């Protein structure tokens, strides 16, 4: 597991470890580069990278904001360890 404090660090992690990352848990609201900007950069680097978006907004609100952009999974905050595990199992198989 790699961590990033913001979107800039998340992009840097994917650039630094392109073959080691199977999935990104991406928060919608982050400093320096928000979730939408980060997603665009991640897709540029790795179009096949699986991304689970996390937000305090509802899934419907997020789907409208990210229409046309591929999101593999969604977790509405607050979430439990069980729902996180379920989302990752669904996305990673």
Q: Which one-letter DSSP state was computed for residue 78? A: S
Over residues 17-23, the mean pLDDT reads 91
Residue 61 predicted with pLDDT over 90? no
pTM for the structure as a whole: 0.88
Residue of 45, 53, 48, 40 lying closest to 22 (CA atoms): 48
Residue 11 predicted with pLDDT over 90? yes
**Phi and psi angles of residue 27, each rounded to the nearest 5 degrees, phi first:** -80, 145
Side-chain-side CA neighbours of 70 within 13 Å: the count stands at: 13
Residue 75 predicted with pLDDT over 80? yes
Contact 12, 24 (CB under 8 A): no
**Listing from the earlier edge strand, what are the strands of the sheet with 50-55?**
23-27, 50-55, 73-76
SS3 53: strand
Q: Is the omega angle on the peptide bond into residue 82 within 30 degrees of 0, that is, cis?
A: no
């Amino acid at each position: 597991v790699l961590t990033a404090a913001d979107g800039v660090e998340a992009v840097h992690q994917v650039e630094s470890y392109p073959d080691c990352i199977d999935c990104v848990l991406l928060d919608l609201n982050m400093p320096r580069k928000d979730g939408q900007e980060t997603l665009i950069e991640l897709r540029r680097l790795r179009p096949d990278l699986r991304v689970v978006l996390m937000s305090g907004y509802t899934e419907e609100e997020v789907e409208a904001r990210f229409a046309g952009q591929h999101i593999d999974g969604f977790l509405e905050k607050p979430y439990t360890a069980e729902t996180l595990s379920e989302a990752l199992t669904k996305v990673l198989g």
